[in-house]
Amino acid sequence: MRIRAARPFIYFVERYYPDPIIFAALATLLTFLLALFLTDSNATTAIMAWGNGLSSLMTFIAQISLTLLTGHVLAHIKPILRLLDRIASIPKNDSMAYAMTLFFSGIASLISWAFGLVIGGLLAYQVAVNGKERGLQIHYPLLVASGYSGFVMWHMGYSGSAQLFVATPGHVLEQSIGTIPVTETLLQPYNIMATLFLLLILPIVMVIMKPHKSKIVELKIKALEKPEYEFHNPKDSSSITPGQKLERQRWINIFLGTALIIYLILHWLEKGFDLNLNIVNWSFLAIGLLLVSSPIEYVKLITNASKIVGQIIFQYPFYAGIMGMMMGTGLVQVFASWFITISTPTTLAFWAFISGGILNLFVPSGGGQWTIQGPIFIEAANELGVAYTSIINGIAWGDQWTNMIQPIWTIPILAIAGLKVRDIMGYTFVTLIVSGFIFSFFLLFFAQ
């Protein structure tokens, strides 16, 4: 039943799903046509609003780029990899392997989505290798699906981009809603409770889905490629230039990391628990610098991460242009009025969640999605008297929810695992259903 239910999504993904930049282009065209037909704006007005909006998120793009890069780097630092090896030796049976892999990938995703994606793949592989060596029969596709399913909660944690966006001074909606601290979004009791529910229930769901022993597909052990950033000191030390010797001096990265830690401590002593995109970035950067063995190692880790992050960042100006066009032509008010007609103060956050989940299939970016949906639902919230925090969390939850059937974000974990999307989507489809009920329950009954 699980495979049959997910089959339409798998078929669509494998045959018709293009690169996300195509969706950004199509969304731009659609927004332009809607502005012409649904508002009084003409083509010139729409194009100018779009062009003026392209550069409106430059600060945010720089901030989110650092978040993605530093989170990816953390997952590839040697002490973290050694910790994963130790965790992988914990499971005593296959049930424990599935549950533990999801739990730890969820914790990693709450720290940073980029960190969680990579950790989920690496941990699933290491657990499978360790289990095979000890004679455990583990269904590898379900194990990898468990590693990916932890990603369903990333927007509820430390690097939640929508929540950090509105908490950062100078964001583009500041004149409308001001700055909203994370104590009112990420630290809302219902956000914390929903996170705990997911961490408790989803591991159990993974165990329930384990197949009969006759249908287990075990890992075919492969040699993981050595990361491109690794380097070896030549035996002849005379061949190392003075510049290269300086690049390998660990005291330099320790000095920089320590300076950042001191700044963060002073910042929090002065302003309390003030968390925004800048502070998150400096904390990730500080931890990474303190854990690597040299400055050049961190540089090469960043270079390696940029190959994954670059294609994501490229989309953001176009999302900013869409936001600019919607706000500049009055399309925001048109969309907002639609949601006002079908919503009540109790259900608006729920509809923000549902629409966020649908939009995520075409705009696979938490920050980019917020720039499109944020103005619409903020306008609706003003009309219905709904707290902005409920809308922010609702959109954020929708973004993470349909990641379970969003193939773009499976790329890093499937590349590590050596599987195809059809191997895991039957299981992640179940994660989508179960988490959808949890999200809906908390938004309808607690997010008021």
pLDDT of the residue at 3: 54
Is the pLDDT at 54 greater than 60? The verdict is: yes
pLDDT of the residue at 7: 63
> Which residue in 269, 272, 67, 112 sits closest to 181, CA to CA?
272
**For 130-151, what is the mean pLDDT?**
92
Alpha-carbon dihedral of residues 367, 368, 369, 372, nearest 10 degrees? 120
Is the pLDDT at 17 greater than 70? The verdict is: no
Is the pLDDT at 99 greater than 80? The verdict is: yes
Q: How many Å apart are CA 305 and CA 106, to the nearest integer?
A: 21
Residue 350: Cβ-neighbour burial (10 angstroms; 0-12, 13-18, 19+) = buried
- Pick 233 or 76 by higher pLDDT: 76
What does pTM read for this prediction? 0.80
Q: Which of 20-29, 221-230, 411-420 has the highest mean pLDDT?
A: 20-29
Is the pLDDT at 161 greater than 90? The verdict is: no
pLDDT tens for each residue of 269-311: 998 877 887 888 899 999 999 999 999 999 999 988 787 667 6
Q: How many residues are listed for the chain in this entry?
A: 448
In percent, the amount of the chain with pLDDT more than 70 equals 88
Q: Kindly report the average pLDDT of the chain as a whole number.
A: 85
> Which residue in 218, 73, 121 sits closest to 414, CA to CA?
121
Residue 61 tokens, joined = 């793009």
pLDDT tens for each residue of 214-267: 788 888 765 444 444 444 454 555 677 888 888 889 999 999 999 999 999 999
424 and 141 Cβ atoms separated by less than 8 Å: yes
Q: How many Å apart are CA 147 and CA 158, to the nearest integer?
A: 19
DSSP 226: P
Q: How many Å apart are CA 317 and CA 175, to the nearest integer?
A: 21
> Which residue in 322, 327, 336 sits closest to 27, CA to CA?
322
**Range list of β-strands (E), 122-178:** none
**Range list of β-strands (E), 6-135:** none
Domain range annotation of the chain: 17-220+246-445
Contacts of 277 (CB under 8 A, 6+ apart): 60, 63, 64, 67, 161, 164, 165, 167, 168
> Which residue in 164, 198, 196 sits closest to 181, CA to CA?
164
Per DSSP, the three-state class of 248 is: coil
pLDDT tens for each residue of 311-352: 667 777 888 888 788 888 988 788 878 888 888 999 999 999
pLDDT of the residue at 60: 77
Is the pLDDT at 389 greater than 90? The verdict is: yes
Q: How many Å apart are CA 89 and CA 136, to the nearest integer?
A: 11
